[in-house]
Structure 1
Amino acid sequence: MDDIFGKIGTTQTLSQKIERKIEEAIRQKKLLSGAKLPSEKELCELFGVSRTALREALRRLNARGLIEIRKGSGMYVSEIKIEDAVKSLNLYYDLSFDSNLISQIIDVRRIFEPEISRLAARNRTDEDLKILQDGIEDLESCDPDNTQKEVDTINRFHMSLAKATGNPIIIISLEPIYSLLPRMRNFIYANVEGEKEFTIDAQKKILKAVEARDEDAAFAETEKLVIRNHEVYDRYLKKVLK
């Protein structure tokens, strides 16, 4: 492990340099997820640094989720999960939520969602179709006074389409965006007559295309839905959120 835990010079803050050295080893997979790090004493000797500098570096690595410190057991390289990445983006979007972010989200949806439906039509399974159909039926039977349940159900349809692509990168990228849609739709359905009915009809057309593996139709029907969402934003949301 000499190539990882070699002695460190003094041109920079020692704790920062220790942190970067360990992070680099994790990124380069010289230290794999679940690997146990040497003890504090051993690390101090390997790096040629004081315990104070080492502990500060370990504290920051732990706070960033790169290592896990288990009392009585030692220090381990953390397992990086998809859920962790999604949570970080969720927090960022929540803190940045305003009219500008909503406009940007709609632009992103217009670019990506039609292609997502195209890929879902190509890769979907019978189980995916059942989940999508169940989602539409749940929306149709939803109490019209329960706006929150309606928007959550609509959101679930979009997430189910993303999952039907079979591509985990799409899920990572879009799930934080979809988590914001209920906040947007709560306003829309309280102010736009017939929006729920339009959405149900659009979902049925998308599902029909996905079921038939008609990639072009899935793309086109999804594009119509997102364009409608953009029109609603232009007419209503901008006035309220500015």
Structure 2
Amino acid sequence: MSGSQAEDLPRVPQTAEDVATQIQSFIISQDLSEGARLPSERDLAGILSTSRPTLRQAIRILVVKGLVESRRGSGTYVTRRPQESLAASVHLMLDLDLESVQHLNDLRLWLETMGIVQAIERGTEAEIAEVEESLERLNDSTGNVSAWMSADTHFHSAIVRAAHNPYLTSIFESVHTTLIEYEYKSWMDEGTVPRWLRKTEAAAVTAIHQPIVTALKARDEEAARIAVLHHHYVMAQHLSASRPA
């Protein structure tokens, strides 16, 4: 087949999953470290030879997986280097039994409860201040799904990191990102805003995080357990609403 004939062949459209994989490869090939800013949407679409709508969907996939984060009015940033992790195994287990999602959410509750209890005991003032700053960022992200999800993941991870146990942090983040991917699948696939993150509802969802910070700052274990449990109940409702038809 000649070069001109090859050029005449129709180009196979790239899926968002394909583009997400290409972005991960781009991060590795460019040796982008955590906190590095990705090129603008227009430039990245040109680099990857894809459409901007497909690129936006790919970015949503990576935001949910916790590999990049969106900062409102600033851009998209690398949060950690793409690599195989425990999340792949957790995700596979959920794929094999979608009915087990509430069991996975229970595990998330137990991990975050242990995390905040240990953070109360071991967390430094600087780490607690980081959690508080994460809440402010969460509040500022209301109305922007991508930025809100990034801020929410950062908030909960910051709490567990303050427990000073890297294994607990790794397991928690794997479980959390798997649940987030389940909860926001329609947003990833279609870009539709979940009911609980619409502008009329988002403030109420954000407000459930304030008692967690208040308890952590006061180093009040009982109040922390109650606040985390309340958040768990709300998340359970969202997961039920996200159940595939």
Shorter-chain TM-score bucket reads 0.5 to 0.7
Deviates more, 1:112-121 or 1:212-221: 112-121
Residues matched between the structures, number: 155
Q: TM-score, normalised by structure 1?
A: 0.56
Asked whether the 8 Å contact 2:108–2:176 carries over to 1, the reply is no
Task: Name the SS for the 2:219 alignment partner.
Answer: coil
Task: Name the SS for the 2:164 alignment partner.
Answer: coil
Following the alignment from structure 1 to structure 2, what is the Cα–Cα distance between the partners of residues 120 and 159?
11
Asked whether the 8 Å contact 1:113–1:223 carries over to 2, the reply is no
The equivalent residue for 1:137 is 136
Greater Cα radius of gyration, structure 1 or 2 = 1
Match status 1:230 vs 2:236: yes
Asked whether the 8 Å contact 1:133–1:207 carries over to 2, the reply is yes
Match status 1:91 vs 2:88: yes
Following the alignment from structure 1 to structure 2, what is the Cα–Cα distance between the partners of residues 149 and 169?
27
Distance 1:143 1:233, change over 3 A: closer
Q: Give the unaligned 5+ runs of structure 2.
A: 1-79, 188-192
Asked whether the 8 Å contact 2:183–2:238 carries over to 1, the reply is no
CA shift for structure 1 position 111: 2.7
Which residue identity is paired with 2:168? I
The equivalent residue for 2:119 is 120
Q: Give the unaligned 5+ runs of structure 1.
A: 1-82
Task: Name the SS for the 1:179 alignment partner.
Answer: helix
Amino-acid identity (%): 18
Asked whether the 8 Å contact 1:132–1:157 carries over to 2, the reply is yes
Distance 1:93 1:112, change over 3 A: closer
Distance 1:118 1:157, change over 3 A: same
Structure 1 segment 80-229 matched on structure 2, within 5 A: 87-98=84-95, 99-142=98-141, 144=143, 146-186=144-184, 190-192=194-196, 196-229=202-235
Following the alignment from structure 1 to structure 2, what is the Cα–Cα distance between the partners of residues 176 and 217?
26
Following the alignment from structure 1 to structure 2, what is the Cα–Cα distance between the partners of residues 120 and 174?
14
Distance 1:107 1:87, change over 3 A: same
Asked whether the 8 Å contact 2:117–2:224 carries over to 1, the reply is yes
Asked whether the 8 Å contact 1:110–1:227 carries over to 2, the reply is no
Asked whether the 8 Å contact 1:151–1:185 carries over to 2, the reply is no
Following the alignment from structure 1 to structure 2, what is the Cα–Cα distance between the partners of residues 126 and 208?
13
Following the alignment from structure 2 to structure 1, what is the Cα–Cα distance between the partners of residues 142 and 210?
19
Asked whether the 8 Å contact 2:104–2:179 carries over to 1, the reply is no
Structure 1 segment 46-65 matched on structure 2, within 5 A: none
Q: TM-score, normalised by structure 2?
A: 0.55
Which residue identity is paired with 1:162? V
CA shift for structure 1 position 204: 1.4
Which residue identity is paired with 2:134? G
Which residue identity is paired with 1:225? H
The equivalent residue for 1:47 is none
Distance 1:181 1:153, change over 3 A: farther
Asked whether the 8 Å contact 1:206–1:222 carries over to 2, the reply is yes
CA shift for structure 1 position 217: 0.6
- Per-residue CA deviations over 1:131-172 (Å, capped at 9, x if unaligned) read 11121111111251x312211110111111110111222112
